[in-house]
Chain A
Amino acid sequence: MKHVELLAPAGDLDRAKTAIRYGADAVYIGGQSFSLRSRASNFTDADIAEACAFARDYGASVHVTVNIIPHEDDLEGLERYLRFLQECGVKAVIAASPTVMRLARECAPEVEVHCSTQLSVTNAAAAEFLYRELGIDRVVLARECTLDDVKAITAASPVPTEAFIHGGMCVNYSGRCTLSNRMTLRDANRGGCAQSCRWMYHLYEGDNEITEEGRLLTMGSKDLCAADEIQGLLEAGVSSFKIEGRMKTEYYVASVVSAYRRLIDELEAGKIPDESRMAYHRKEILKGENRAVCDGFYKGCAGADSLITRANSDADVNHDFLGRVQSFENGTAVILSRNPIRVNEQIEVLSPGKENRVFAPAWLMDENGEYMEECRRPMTALRMPVPFETAADDIFRRFG
């Protein structure tokens, strides 16, 4: 079985490094122009260069999204940018516009061109066309494909395929939704998506309202979690497994990437997990999630159980991320706290390349040297004893 690429999202340089440390083979990032997710922090040119250098040190690679559907005046500076990406050592650009793909071929011939899911490729003939006419190196499949579709397309496609395995899903075909444009004038195909699909709607038949009071219609999709499909996707010969979430936190990145890394490594080593082991993997993967999940279209057309039936609320926010280690010396770790922590609470430590470990701190001390039973203030430089070695950038999270 060939090694599949685990491709992780990164909204900024810090998260790119986190993803790579925690086992991503590649990260995809957006620059400050030409990329969707304009509300992600996005990378300066210097950040891109540093991300590439960091990735090289770990044997990983950087893909850059150049995936806007450009208007007339959006293409200025693109050629310079593509040349710059090549100079940095970017492995691939992810593009949806034929013009971007063509220019990438011309200006940055050493950079691969990956066809974005914005083009909704749902069959091998479409992939063949894009390969023939634009010389694409990889196709990111539409999230509407079932596992059988993925198998068939991958078998017949002239280029390697990439499939989403985790994260947010558009309820509509990517690139074919302009709800945000109409509701907010924010262009979904140029990075401005306001996620209007997740808002609440009344439904009418003629003049009669169908929606019931207190239960309006929302079109938001649950997030994708394809843990149970990883083996099938590996057998299908998919070349890259993509995690969605350039807007997500470093905790999400570390948690989800490390959990999938563990599952994929086991499968690639020929260890087929039994049900209890799969339950463990599922649990680990979902520790970083804020939203309900589904298996998307992999088992067949996504139906009612793939949809969110209520508006998002604060109750959905995951409070398990306790902080990231800043330093560790003489058995004492200093973390930058993110959520409330109590003395003797069980804490799980995520360290790149290691099994997760658990401990319970006997004391907590803030930056003023004050002992405390509980720290409720985020961003406190919090000291605590740890009975094993940890290192800067390790992640502490609530255990359970």
Chain B
Amino acid sequence: MKLIVLNAAEEQRENLLKAGADRVVMPLQNGSFTAAQEYPASSFNTPGTDILLNRFFFPSEQEELTELLHEAEELPAEDVYFADPAVISLASDKLKQKLVYHPDTLLTNSNDMSWWLARGIRSAVVSPLLTREETVSIIKACPACTVQIHGHTLMAESRRPLLSSYAPEKNLPGKRNLFLREEKRQERMPVYENEHGTLVYSDFELMSFREIRSFAEAGCTRFLINALFVPDDALADAVRAYRDILNGADALQAEKDCTEKYGYLPLGTGYYEEKTIK
């Protein structure tokens, strides 16, 4: 069973591995689009470190992409998370075996998941927009999939500078403490802008203490925890709790402990119990 912490910071890595994470995934400089800090290739030599290479690439960036793929292949990372099909298109056979397709919103059924897994990649990440039952169904059909179990989920990705377009004088790009609130709602959604565009994350921080064991029993062995906007201590505690549950600890007690200790966080069950409509 692998607990994988996505969007981790370099300084969190040691603590997360000690807490029970098997891998930490850090954004590779120039190769990712995320609110997390990016790191140069030299930061990826530490054991247990995987690569986030998830941005879209445009024709003028072809050379840059080729270099990034070469770097990713040479680094000791086990897994490379990508979203642009150009990555798998240009990857060598060696790199292809490390690839994990992570398009955030697109993998919503077992047929598509099977198709991607049959492309010779390591894994692909199930969309977190699904009910518990839909997620289990995909896992049963495709046990090599990866499931996000904790943290904020990506809600929107734009190439446009949406924040600096609104308030150019405020110097908002790069700031990690910005939030949107829809005028009739109370929930706050983290929002981030950099040179690649703007990202909006879910107002809720997904938790799956009650679900992880049923996901594991269905066959899943790869669980993703998104570190973004989760305080260090809460993140490490979540990793510990999931590891303990996988080792037989009481899931309900783990959820109670977490929600009591971190009652100020927007912990929620996402779409597990809320089926979206067409």
- Contact between A171 and B160, CB atoms less than 8 A apart: yes
Q: Which of A56-91 contact B (CB under 8 A)?
A: 68-72, 74-75
Task: Given A72-B110, A102-B115, A185-B274, decide whether A303 and B160 contact each other with a Cβ distance below 8 A.
Answer: yes
Q: Which of B71-97 contact A (CB under 8 A)?
A: 84-86, 88-90
- Contact between A183 and B182, CB atoms less than 8 A apart: yes
> What is the CA–CA distance of A309 and B66 in the complex, to the nearest angstrom?
39
- Contact between A70 and B109, CB atoms less than 8 A apart: yes
- Chain B: which residue is nearest A219 at the CB level? B162
CB-defined contacts of A351 to chain B, threshold 8 Å: none
Task: Given A187-B278, A201-B181, A303-B160, decide whether A98 and B116 contact each other with a Cβ distance below 8 A.
Answer: yes
Task: Given A182-B203, A307-B165, decide whether A176 and B156 contact each other with a Cβ distance below 8 A.
Answer: yes
B276 contacts chain A at the CB level, 8 A cutoff = yes
Stretch at the interface among B56-64, B143-151, B208-216, B252-260: B56-64
- Contact between B165 and A123, CB atoms less than 8 A apart: no
> What is the CA–CA distance of A176 and B111 in the complex, to the nearest angstrom?
19
- Chain B: which residue is nearest A128 at the CB level? B89
Closest CB of chain B to A36's CB: distance in Å?
9
- Contact between B109 and A302, CB atoms less than 8 A apart: no
CB-defined contacts of B103 to chain A, threshold 8 Å: 175-176
A366 contacts chain B at the CB level, 8 A cutoff = no
CB < 8 Å: which of B56, B161, B163 contacts A144? B56
A99 contacts chain B at the CB level, 8 A cutoff = yes
Closest CB of chain A to B125's CB: distance in Å?
13
Stretch at the interface among B6-14, B15-23, B170-178, B231-239: B170-178
Closest CB of chain B to A125's CB: distance in Å?
4
Interface size on A, residues (CB 8 A): 78
Closest CB of chain B to A144's CB: distance in Å?
4
- Contact between A201 and B89, CB atoms less than 8 A apart: no
Task: Given A172-B157, A176-B105, decide whether A122 and B182 contact each other with a Cβ distance below 8 A.
Answer: no
Stretch at the interface among A148-156, A340-348, A368-376, A380-388: A148-156
> What is the CA–CA distance of A38 and B157 in the complex, to the nearest angstrom?
23
> What is the CA–CA distance of A301 and B159 in the complex, to the nearest angstrom?
7
CB-defined contacts of A210 to chain B, threshold 8 Å: 167, 170, 172, 178
- Chain B: which residue is nearest A115 at the CB level? B85
> What is the CA–CA distance of A172 and B161 in the complex, to the nearest angstrom?
11
- Contact between B156 and A179, CB atoms less than 8 A apart: yes
> What is the CA–CA distance of A118 and B107 in the complex, to the nearest angstrom?
12
A173 contacts chain B at the CB level, 8 A cutoff = yes
> What is the CA–CA distance of A175 and B154 in the complex, to the nearest angstrom?
12
> What is the CA–CA distance of A173 and B104 in the complex, to the nearest angstrom?
12
A199 contacts chain B at the CB level, 8 A cutoff = yes
List 7 extra interface pairs beyond A68-B278, A153-B59, A303-B161, CB under 8 A: A71-B130, A98-B116, A122-B58, A124-B59, A152-B59, A187-B278, A199-B182
Selected A-B contacts with CB under 8 Å, 8 pairs: A69-B108, A70-B109, A71-B108, A122-B58, A203-B163, A203-B167, A203-B178, A210-B170
